[in-house]
Amino acid sequence: MAGGLIGLVLTGSAARVGVEPFFMELIAGMEEALAPTGSTVLLLVVPDLPAELATYARWAQDHTVAAVVLVNLVHDDVRPSRVAALGLPAVLAGRHPGAFHKVITDDAGAMATAIATLGGLGHRVVGRVSGPADLVHTAVRTAAIRSAAAERGIRVRIVEGDYSAEAGVRGLRDLLGAEPTPTAIVFDNDVMAVAAEQELIRAGIPVPGRISLLACDDSPLCELAVPPLSALSTDVHEHGLTLGHAVLTRLAGDAGAGEHPGPRISVRERASTGPAPS
């Protein structure tokens, strides 16, 4: 393939997407993989699912894009079958039963790593502020953190968020009001974790002396937070590279199903995690 646009649609508010380092880094990785072919990513932010589906229909009719990448897969997601019916080649970022090229990240392993890290520090009650419950990878994380915690005799309490700063603060307050109160909290993204940490500091609650915090989606936000946030580190740029290469494989004529493993997950321990308070 020589030249062409690769469509990526994000559903939600443009303001919130604008503060998500994850997607900007993901797109940068995709661009690096696509650049040798002269291709580039066409990013569009729309308010809801009907607008997203209408975008795919318009792109297919006008031959705007050579392929699309679908992100944030949900249970019973209608988008993969819809783009297939439109004749748009697609690569999925996540798990799906259909015959598509998919880039799979180890979400279960991430939660097992989180529990192993916090359990090793003596935490016996762990909270989590999750992403939206309808997302496939949120469900995978939820099942995995409950399983890993049960194996270690750790209690887990989960509240749902939407990746926004407001959800991070709201989730934190819900968990602080729980009994027993968690001594460590895992956040499904960096934005929620940073907002929660700022709320704790304003309230005079020491981090990690009273509560340890661990973010998913490590980013410069985590490094610049005060204190710097420990994070589950996934090389998002590499994830984007893998997505880009999967798109090129699909466009080269490989229309079958294929699973492409995403980057490994590790823990970057910084100043926001410490031993459980006695």
Secondary structure string (H, E, C) spanning 205-235: CCCCCCCEEEEECCCHHHHHCCCCCEEEEEC
Q: Residue 159 in contact with residue 130, Cβ under 8 Å?
A: yes
Q: For 56, list phi and psi in degrees, rounded to 5.
A: -60, -40
Give the whole-angstrom CA distance, residue 74 versus residue 221. 27
pLDDT for position 151: 98
Characterize 89-125 residue by residue with b for buried, 16 or more Cβ atoms within 10 angstroms of its Cβ, and e for exposed: bbbbbbbbeeebbbbbbbbbebbbbbbebbbebebbb
Domains of the chain are: 4-105+235-265 (3.40.50.2300), 107-233 (3.40.50.2300)
pLDDT for position 162: 93
What residue type is assigned to position 134 of the chain? D
Q: Residue 230 in contact with residue 270, Cβ under 8 Å?
A: yes
Question: What residue ranges of the chain have pLDDT lower than 70?
Answer: 1-3, 14-19
pTM of the model: 0.90
What residue type is assigned to position 120 of the chain? G
pLDDT for position 163: 93
Give the whole-angstrom CA distance, residue 3 versus residue 40. 8
- Token pair 């697609």 is found at 90
Cα distances from 266 to residues 112, 155, 165, 198, 254, in angstroms, run 11, 23, 24, 24, 32
Give the whole-angstrom CA distance, residue 154 versus residue 230. 20
Residue 8 DSSP SS3: strand
Q: Residue 201 in contact with residue 226, Cβ under 8 Å?
A: yes
Give the whole-angstrom CA distance, residue 97 versus residue 107. 17
Residue 96 DSSP SS3: coil
